[in-house]
């Protein structure tokens, strides 16, 4: 082998190494991709049609999203999601409230949106602690609905919470496909866009409800918070002696407040727990003789809810965690009489 | 009915998916005939497990192939076996039902107790068909039994405006604080109530 050939081989190896290194460096970090996705889902104006698959049910849905505007008026997100198949249902969010139209049950539920907004995944990073409970990595590149995507996997390290796989459009950073999986990798639900278009603006008309609601039963949370305070004085408030004696590892309380809800006339104590990705709400409400208690469970894709009654209080746990985790949390809600 | 019983049998064998289990649990609670069949299947399962535990080697031994009209020995032996086990089996049914009731594990109820443990429980426990509020409250207050929920909490809830309002309020927190890229409202808009 001549000296010339040696030089050529060496040069080839150097170039190949440089290309591989450059390729590796060009693949962004999973946490960066998720961060930009969260930003895009909040800020962009887009419309699209997607398929929602859970269990043996497949539904087609339509979404119109007007992104948050950071101008002087500072308008929040507006969104309308409508079912195209199955039961006629629609949810409209306008930044301050959310309207759910259940045409199949001829009812409408109106709730207030929390005034404080939080940026999800803000805690992702070396110091967040999320890495202790999830493994997050870019699995590679893929294509969804004709678009080039990154496939990011979020795997839980314990079976008391779920994992996720998300395919994110490289151009818009919007999620094109997402799945929620259990600890064994079994898909619990899946969302996949079949069409997605970004816009410069979303006209008001696109956010108008599609389904009429005349003659429906309305459950609207229109009660001002001041009245909630009045109820406190009347003794309907939930006292602070309720505790939860068990939570999955890494879960911390993010919220503990009393609020009004549409289907109740008394304030409800609402606890919010999270490990940074998975979330669980606990609602505690004083029961009266008229109100029918909630007893049992409900599974909505990856969300499980469980209701039970203790000391004439309705305890309801709702979480995007396995039913067994919801059960354990519900069983751990207890009253400690400090008198 | 035969088809339902086959599905029920599949549930006893843990061969149903979670959706079908929930649906069947609904029917099970509403249909006394199916409820009786459920108890019988569990009883048969328990008796077989008990018998297998007593004679594991013979049960595993290959059997000679018999003509189709031949009445197997096990069938003729079944009567004395059942007669022998009937008192305990009856208690076991009540215990199994009571255990299921108290622990709220009807959906995936496959008793994991060993034969000796079952007999010990039968001897110690009073006959309980439905838990009393005192029992459940006392159990719930035990910090070591945080997983305990009552029977009714294992029953699927029907559409209820209060539950919907809780889920909407959960979603409103979830939108801003949970895993992005998974829109929580698909679980309301894409939820099919009709089964």
Q: What is the CATH number of the domain that holds A316?
A: 3.30.200.100
More confident residue, A25 or A160: A160
Q: Counting one residue from A and one from B, how many pairs have CB atoms under 8 Å apart? A: 234
Q: Check whether A294 has a pLDDT greater than 80.
A: yes
Q: Assess whether B50 and B145 both reside in one domain.
A: yes
3-state secondary structure of B23: helix
Q: Check whether A170 has a pLDDT greater than 50.
A: yes
Assess if residue A14 is contained within a domain: no
What is d(CA B148, CA A200) in angstroms, rounded to the nearest whole number?
53
Average pLDDT of the segment spanning A115-135: 65
Cα B192 to the chain's mean position, in Å? 25
DSSP A172: T
Q: How far is CA A288 from CA A5, A32, A233, A236, A292, in A?
A: 90, 49, 17, 10, 8
Taking CA A324 as the corner, what is the angle to CA A110 and CA A164, rounded to the nearest 5 degrees? Answer: 70
Mind listing the pLDDT tens digit of every residue in chain B (195 residues)? Answer: 556 666 666 665 556 666 666 666 667 666 766 666 666 655 555 544 444 444 443 333 334 444 333 333 443 344 455 555 555 666 566 555 555 544 444 344 334 444 445 444 434 433 333 333 443 344 444 434 444 566 666 788 877 889 999 999 999 999 888 888 889 999 999 987 544
User: How do strand A303-310 and strand A296-300 relate by DSSP bridges?
Assistant: antiparallel
Write the residue in B148, B160, B187 that is nearest to A300 by C-beta.
B187
Q: Assess whether B141 and B169 both reside in one domain.
A: no
What part of A 208-237 touches B (C-beta under 8 Å)? Answer: 217, 219, 221
Assess if residue A217 is contained within a domain: no
Q: Is A243 exposed, middle or buried (0-12, 13-18, 19+ CB in 10 A)?
A: exposed
Assess if residue A34 is contained within a domain: yes
Question: Residue B168: its chain A contacts at CB < 8 A?
Answer: 98, 100, 109, 111, 262
Q: Assess whether A34 and A174 both reside in one domain.
A: yes
Question: What's residue A230's pLDDT?
Answer: 45
Q: Check whether A80 has a pLDDT greater than 90.
A: yes
Question: What's residue A249's pLDDT?
Answer: 95
Q: Assess whether B92 and B47 both reside in one domain.
A: yes
Q: Nearest-CA residue of chain B relative to A245?
A: B143
Question: Residue B146: its chain A contacts at CB < 8 A?
Answer: 245-246, 328, 331-332
Full domain range(s) for residue B169: 158-195
Question: What's residue B19's pLDDT?
Answer: 64
Cβ neighbours, 10 Å, residue B26: 14
CA distance A26 to chain B (A): 23
Q: Assess whether B93 and B110 both reside in one domain.
A: yes
What is d(CA B123, CA A31) in angstroms, rounded to the nearest whole number?
58
Question: Count of domains in chain A?
Answer: 2
Are the beta carbons of A319 and B170 separated by less than 8 Å?
A: yes
Question: Residue B157: its chain A contacts at CB < 8 A?
Answer: 294-298, 305, 307
pLDDT, tens digit, for every residue of A203-236? 999 999 998 888 999 999 876 654 444 444 444 6
Beta sheet of A268-274, edge-to-edge order: A252-259, A268-274, A279-286, A313-319, A303-310, A296-300
Q: How far is CA B42 from CA A123, B45, B46, B100, in A?
A: 49, 5, 6, 11
Average pLDDT of the segment spanning A83-108: 93
- The partner residues of A151 in beta bridges, in order of sequence, read A140, A167
Q: Assess whether B168 and B108 both reside in one domain.
A: no
Let me know: does A320 contact A303? Beta carbons within 8 Å: yes
Let me know: does A287 contact A300? Beta carbons within 8 Å: no
Write the residue in A91, A121, A283 that is nearest to B189 by C-beta.
A91
What is d(CA A245, CA A39) in angstroms, rounded to the nearest whole number?
35
DSSP secondary structure of B81-144: HHHHHHHHHHHHHHHHHHHHHHHT--TT------HHHHHHHHHHSPP-SS--HHHHHHHHT-GG
Q: Assess whether A185 and A233 both reside in one domain.
A: no
CA distance A294 to chain B (A): 7
Average predicted confidence (pLDDT) for chain A:
86
Give the residue among A50, A83, A155 at the shortest CA–CA distance from B179.
A155
DSSP A157: S
% of chain A at pLDDT higher than 90: 64
Q: Assess whether A188 and A240 both reside in one domain.
A: no
Q: Out of A39-53, A256-270, A290-304, give the one with best mean pLDDT.
A: A39-53
- B190 token code pair: 């894409």
Full domain range(s) for residue A184: 30-207
Q: Assess whether B165 and B105 both reside in one domain.
A: no
Average pLDDT of the segment spanning A9-35: 68
pLDDT, tens digit, for every residue of B97-142? 555 544 444 344 334 444 445 444 434 433 333 333 443 344 444 4
Rg (CA), chain B: 22
Assess if residue B70 is contained within a domain: no
Assess if residue A71 is contained within a domain: yes
B138 shares contact with chain A (CB less than 8 Å) = no
Assess if residue B47 is contained within a domain: yes
Q: Which residue matches tokens 């029977």?
A: B151
Assess if residue A23 is contained within a domain: no
Question: Count of domains in chain B?
Answer: 2
Q: Which of B125, B140, B156 is the last residue of a domain?
A: B156
Assess if residue B65 is contained within a domain: no
Q: Which of A178, A207, A236 is the last residue of a domain?
A: A207
Q: Assess whether B124 and B39 both reside in one domain.
A: yes
Q: Assess whether B103 and B192 both reside in one domain.
A: no
Q: Nearest-CA residue of chain A relative to B180?
A: A38
Are the beta carbons of B177 and A178 separated by less than 8 Å?
A: no
Q: Assess whether B117 and B172 both reside in one domain.
A: no
Question: What's residue B119's pLDDT?
Answer: 45
Are the beta carbons of B153 and A297 separated by less than 8 Å?
A: yes
CA distance B80 to chain A (A): 41
- A312 token code pair: 């004439």
Q: Which residue matches tokens 């002087």?
A: A72
Question: Residue A295: its chain B contacts at CB < 8 A?
Answer: 150, 152-153, 155, 157
Give the residue among B47, B1, B63 at the shortest CA–CA distance from B27.
B1
Assess if residue A267 is contained within a domain: yes
A103: domain CATH number is 2.50.20.10
Q: Nearest-CA residue of chain A relative to B162?
A: A263
ipTM: 0.87
A40 shares contact with chain B (CB less than 8 Å) = no
What is d(CA A256, CA A277) in angstroms, rounded to the nearest whole number?
18
Question: Residue A306: its chain B contacts at CB < 8 A?
Answer: 149, 153
Q: Assess whether A239 and A184 both reside in one domain.
A: no
Assess if residue A182 is contained within a domain: yes
Average pLDDT of the segment spanning A43-51: 97
Average pLDDT of the segment spanning A161-190: 95
What part of B 67-126 touches A (C-beta under 8 Å)? Answer: 104
Q: Assess whether A155 and A255 both reside in one domain.
A: no
Q: Assess whether B111 and B50 both reside in one domain.
A: yes
Are the beta carbons of B146 and A41 separated by less than 8 Å?
A: no
Q: How far is CA B91 from CA A18, B109, B119, B121, in A?
A: 75, 17, 9, 10
Q: Check whether A122 has a pLDDT greater than 80.
A: no
Write the residue in B18, B180, B186 that is nearest to A37 by C-beta.
B180
Contact residues for A151 (Cβ-Cβ < 8 A; gap 6+)? A138, A139, A140, A141, A142, A165, A166, A167
Question: What's residue B130's pLDDT?
Answer: 34
């Amino acid at each position: 082998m001549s000296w010339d050939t040696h030089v050529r081989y060496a040069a080839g190896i150097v170039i190949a190494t440089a290309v591989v290194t450059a390729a590796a460096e060009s693949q962004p970090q999973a946490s960066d991709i998720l961060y930009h996705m969260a930003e895009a889902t909040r800020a962009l104006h887009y419309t699209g049609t997607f398929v929602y698959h859970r269990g043996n049910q497949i539904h087609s849905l339509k979404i119109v999203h007007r992104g948050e505007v950071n101008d002087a008026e500072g308008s929040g997100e507006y969104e309308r999601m409508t079912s195209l198949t199955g039961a006629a249902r629609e949810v409209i969010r306008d930044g301050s409230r959310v309207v759910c139209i259940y045409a199949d049950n001829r009812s409408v539920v109106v709730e207030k949106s929390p005034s404080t907004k939080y940026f999800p995944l803000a805690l992702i990073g070396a110091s967040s602690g999320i890495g202790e409970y999830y493994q997050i990595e870019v699995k590679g590149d893929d294509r969804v609905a004709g678009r080039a995507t990154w496939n990011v996997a979020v795997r839980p390290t314990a079976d008391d919470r779920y994992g996720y796989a998300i395919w994110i459009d490289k151009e818009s950073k919007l999620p094109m496909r997402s799945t929620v999986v259990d600890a064994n990798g079994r898909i619990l639900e899946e969302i996949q866009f079949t069409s997605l278009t970004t816009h410069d603006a979303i006209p008001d008309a696109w956010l108008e409800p599609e389904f009429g609601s005349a003659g429906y039963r309305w459950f609207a949370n229109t009660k001002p918070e001041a009245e909630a305070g009045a109820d406190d004085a009347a003794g309907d408030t939930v006292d602070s002696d309720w505790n939860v004696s068990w939570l999955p590892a890494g879960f911390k309380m993010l919220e503990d407040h009393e609020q009004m809800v549409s289907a109740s006339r008394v304030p409800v104590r609402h606890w919010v727990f999270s490990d940074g990705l998975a979330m669980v709400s606990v609602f505690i409400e004083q029961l009266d003789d008229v109100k029918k208690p909630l007893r049992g469970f409900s599974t909505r894709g990856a969300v499980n809810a469980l209701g039970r009654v203790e000391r004439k209080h309705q305890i309801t746990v709702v979480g995007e965690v396995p039913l067994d985790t919801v059960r354990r949390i519900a069983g751990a809600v207890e009253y400690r009489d400090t008198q | 009915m035969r088809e339902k019983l086959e599905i029920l049998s599949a549930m006893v064998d843990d061969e149903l998916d979670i959706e079908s289990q929930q649906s069947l649990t609904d029917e099970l609670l509403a249909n006394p005939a199916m409820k009786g069949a459920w108890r019988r299947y569990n009883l048969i399962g328990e008796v077989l497990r008990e018998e297998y535990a007593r004679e594991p080697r013979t049960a595993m031994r290959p059997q000679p192939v018999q003509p189709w009209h031949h009445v197997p020995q096990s069938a003729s032996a079944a009567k004395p076996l059942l007669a022998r086990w009937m008192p305990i089996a009856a208690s076991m049914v009540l215990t199994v039902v009571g255990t299921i009731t108290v622990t709220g594990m009807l959906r995936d109820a496959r008793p994991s107790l060993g034969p000796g443990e079952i007999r010990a429980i039968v001897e110690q426990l009073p006959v309980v068909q439905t838990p009393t509020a005192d029992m459940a409250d006392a159990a719930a207050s035990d910090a070591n039994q945080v997983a305990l929920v009552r029977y009714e909490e294992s029953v699927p809830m029907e559409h209820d405006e209060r539950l919907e309002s809780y889920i909407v309020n959960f979603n409103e927190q979830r939108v801003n604080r949970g895993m992005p890229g998974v829109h929580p409202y698909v679980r309301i808009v894409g939820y099919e109530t009709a089964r």
